RNA sequence: GCGCCUGUAGCUCAGUUGGAUAGAGCAACGGACUUCUAAUCCGUAGGUCGGGGGUUCGAAUCCCUCCAGGCGUGCCA
């Protein structure tokens, strides 16, 4: 609808230029049409006359008046156009148009809200990518919810999306994992061991040692230290990764690819990437180490890629990894990271540019931290000491629906306070059920309608007279906005817009539902019932579609 | 020190790429259950958009500066 208004304005503009009613200046590059805050300002408005005032050297209201004269509304889209305030042009949409919206919600059904603005372009999203050295915690959960929903939203907006998890199954942390497990293993065999502070402290290490002992027996004691550590590392990393996959599965998050860091070494990709950049003189030697000239791309200092001891840094893998991603010919690549990694952006961005790609090719989304609370009081957590609440514990306690909804209910730029007690509460303090409840209520109405024999939900032209109350038109106007919520979330990479919209739609429905003297859906009046069933089941379609994108279930009863 | 993020109602947060009179939820107060599910609704109250300058027809939004908080600033991952 907004696009149609936009086209109308565009056409009026062109017509005014052609007729010589406007000075022949450069036409505006984009026409902004928005939904005014107050209903008295119309359904849509544009500020075009104001933005053109200086180049046209005329008063905005005068320009607006010229444009209005050139508006051709052959489709009968608008009932009234007015000039208001400093020079806004306000459009009032013909009521009949809103029924078209309502009809299209039904005819599109599950695909209502989807579009082709992405033009089938390939986007890769990498997220979570937690090291397989311990279970996922709540911070990973937020990244998982954001990444998974963003992928769904982009997909709905017509992009082809691939979700990837980068597994850091190489490097020092894996060896640390191995030696941590080995020590606990020896402990189980009643050796007295000293457990160093730089080892992984969590209880889960003991569990891993236990299952290792169960499957391998005492065999590892006979191996040389380094082989034993490696065996422990392989075993533990596999087990942990397996657990991560299960946790994500329980959280309704899926990935298309699991990409192994180790594979970059096995195929020689890391060496090759380094060699290529050496040839380009972007990597140079200094103090026995190999340095990447990231300062040439705006970083504040150069970064080490190969240490003096010959071992590569994490950054080296990351260069090869991003090179690999870029070679896979995605149109765009998005890395979703915890905000504590933001210091890595300049160097990764430098590597992307050094490989020969535009900086914009790779986008970064930084998700701020999660503060876990219980009854308003912070829960102390320390990853180092192994004291943290895992994602699976949270999901088990509050349910995946509440967890996902609450993780998405904040812009990823703001830190998130997540209160476990509030998340569980079945009350109006908890926003999670508010939206789901709409779905349950409408489902119940449909059940009742079915019992009464009103089971055929399809459009009849007399609905135009029957769906007539301003609250009802208001509901349809809200429904009309849904597709734009999706495209905007996709364009700005901001999935939080979705739950905010759903809350708004839910609020409008609950208010409508509640006044049963005016809005009883299923009644003795068969025609009116049919019309209202058509209206409310459209609301249900959108609620269901929106929750689906968020990975939250839409229950038929609660 | 430098860099990134944040600062909007008592609390938690939105605010549509600069728009018209800054919004919602919670908490507070006052109301509504003979129901298509009260996990709901209606009403009242609540603001120096951190402070100060600037840009223009117009600023919560853009620029500068200061203040406060978070994170980062490894030949760690």
Nearest to A381 by CA among A368, A394, A391, A371: A371
Q: What is the pLDDT of residue A530?
A: 94
Nucleotide closest to residue A419 (CA–C1'): B12
Q: Find the Å distance, CA of residue A435 to C1' of nucleotide B39.
A: 10
DSSP state of A43: S
Q: What is the pLDDT of residue A327?
A: 95
Question: What's the complex ipTM?
Answer: 0.95
Q: What is the pLDDT of residue A444?
A: 96
Residue nearest to nucleotide B69 (CA to C1'): A415
The CATH number of A2-93, from 3.40.50.80, 3.40.50.10420, 3.30.1490.20, 3.30.1360.70, is 3.30.1360.70
Which window residues (441-460, chain A) lie with Cβ within 7 Å of strand B?
Answer: 441, 444-445, 448
Q: What is the pLDDT of residue A497?
A: 96
Give the CATH architecture of domain A99-113+428-549: Orthogonal Bundle (1.10)
Phi, psi of A368, deg, nearest 5: -70, 170
Q: Is A525 near strand B, with its CB below 7 A from some atom of it?
A: no
**How many angstroms separate the CA atoms of A197 and A375, rounded?**
32
**How many angstroms separate the CA atoms of A11 and A70, rounded?**
8
Euclidean distance between the first and the last CA atom of chain A, given in angstroms as a whole number: 35
Nucleotide closest to residue A449 (CA–C1'): B36
Q: Find the Å distance, CA of residue A416 to C1' of nucleotide B9.
A: 20
Q: What is the pLDDT of residue A23?
A: 85
Q: Find the Å distance, CA of residue A495 to C1' of nucleotide B16.
A: 14
Chain-centre distance for alpha carbon A258:
19
Q: Is A61 near strand B, with its CB below 7 A from some atom of it?
A: no
**Residue A258 vs residues A269, A322, A363: alpha-carbon distances, Å:** 17, 14, 20
The angle, 0 to 180 degrees and rounded to 10, between the axes of the packed helices A470-492 and A526-550 is: 20
Q: Find the Å distance, CA of residue A35 to C1' of nucleotide B17.
A: 15
> Rounded to two decimals, what is the model's pTM?
0.95
For residues A139 and A341, the answer to whether their CB atoms sit within 8 Å is no
Q: Is A537 near strand B, with its CB below 7 A from some atom of it?
A: no
Q: Which residues contact A351 (CB under 8 A, 6 or more apart)?
A: A292, A294, A315, A318, A319, A322, A323
Q: CA A140, A141, A146, A151: dihedral to nearest 10 degrees?
A: 90
Q: What is the pLDDT of residue A24?
A: 81
Q: Find the Å distance, CA of residue A519 to C1' of nucleotide B32.
A: 16
Nucleotide closest to residue A50 (CA–C1'): B57
Q: What is the pLDDT of residues A451-496, one digit of tens each?
A: 999 988 999 999 999 999 999 999 999 999 999 999 999 999 999 9
Write down the domain spans for chain A.
2-93, 99-113+428-549, 172-249
For residues A526 and A463, the answer to whether their CB atoms sit within 8 Å is no
Scan for tokens 């450069």, then name that residue: A26
Q: Find the Å distance, CA of residue A262 to C1' of nucleotide B8.
A: 47
Which window residues (194-253, chain A) lie with Cβ within 7 Å of strand B?
Answer: none
The list of chain A residues with pLDDT below 50 reads none
Q: What is the pLDDT of residue A57?
A: 84
Bases of chain B within 7 A of a CB of the protein: 2-7, 12-27, 35-42, 57-58, 70-77
**Residue A147 vs residues A7, A150, A243, A477: alpha-carbon distances, Å:** 34, 5, 19, 29
């Amino acid at each position: 609808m907004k696009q149609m208004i936009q086209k109308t304005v565009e056409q009026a503009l062109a017509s005014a230029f052609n007729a010589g009613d406007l000075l022949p200046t450069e036409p505006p590059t984009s026409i902004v049409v928005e939904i005014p805050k107050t209903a008295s300002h119309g359904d849509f408005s544009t500020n075009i006359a104001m933005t053109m005032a200086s180049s046209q050297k005329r008063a905005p209201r005068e320009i607006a008046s010229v444009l209005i004269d050139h508006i051709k509304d052959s489709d009968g889209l608008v009932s009234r156009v007015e000039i208001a305030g400093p020079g806004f042009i306000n459009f009032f949409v013909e009521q009949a148009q809103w029924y078209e919206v309502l009809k299209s919600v039904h005819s599109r059904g599950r695909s209502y809200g989807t579009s082709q603005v992405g033009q089938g372009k390939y986007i890769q999203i990498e997220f979570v990518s937690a090291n397989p050295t311990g279970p996922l915690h709540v911070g990973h959960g937020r990244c998982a919810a954001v990444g998974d929903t963003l992928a769904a939203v982009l997909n709905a907006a017509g992009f082809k999306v691939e979700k990837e998890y980068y597994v850091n199954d190489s490097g020092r942390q894996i060896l640390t994992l191995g030696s941590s497990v080995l020590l606990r293993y020896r402990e189980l065999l009643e050796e007295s061991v000293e457990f160093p502070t730089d080892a992984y402290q969590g209880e889960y290490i003991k569990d891993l040692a236990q299952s290792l002992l169960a499957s391998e027996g005492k065999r590892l004691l006979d191996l040389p230290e380094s082989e034993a550590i490696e065996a422990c590392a392989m075993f533990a990393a596999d087990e942990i990764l397996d657990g991560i996959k299960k946790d994500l599965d329980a959280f309704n998050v899926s990935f298309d690819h699991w990409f192994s860091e180790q594979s970059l070494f096995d195929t020689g990709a890391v060496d090759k990437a380094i060699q290529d950049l050496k040839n380009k003189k972007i990597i140079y030697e200094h103090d026995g180490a190999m340095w990447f000239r990231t300062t040439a791309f705006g970083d504040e200092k150069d970064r080490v890629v190969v240490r003096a001891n010959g071992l590569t840094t994490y950054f080296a893998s990351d260069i090869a990894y991003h090179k690999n991603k870029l070679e896979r010919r995605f149109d765009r690549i998005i890395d979703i990271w915890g905000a504590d990694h933001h210091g890595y952006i300049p160097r990764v961005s430098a590597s992307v540019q050094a490989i020969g790609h535009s900086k914009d090719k790779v986008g970064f989304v930084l998700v701020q931290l999660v503060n876990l609370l219980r009854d308003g009081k912070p829960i102390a957590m320390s990853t180092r000491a192994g004291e943290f609440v895992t994602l699976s514990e949270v999901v088990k306690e509050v349910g995946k629906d509440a967890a996902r909804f609450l993780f998405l209910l904040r812009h990823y730029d703001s830190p998130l306070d997540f209160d476990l007690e509030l998340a569980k509460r079945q009350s109006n303090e908890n926003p999670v059920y508010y939206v789901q409840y709409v779905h349950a209520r409408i489902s119940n109405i449909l059940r009742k309608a079915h019992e009464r024999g009103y089971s055929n939900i399809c459009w009849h032209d007399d609905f135009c007279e029957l769906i007539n109350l301003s609250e009802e038109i208001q509901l349809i106007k809200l429904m009309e906005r849904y597709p734009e919520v999706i495209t905007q979330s996709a364009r700005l990479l901001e999935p939080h817009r979705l739950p905010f919209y759903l809350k708004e739609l839910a609020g409008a429905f609950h208010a409508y539902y509640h006044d049963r003297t005016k809005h009883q859906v299923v009644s003795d009046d068969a025609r009116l019932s049919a019309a209202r069933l058509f209206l409310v089941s459209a609301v249900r379609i959108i609620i269901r579609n929106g929750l689906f994108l968020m990975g939250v279930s839409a229950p038929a009863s609660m």
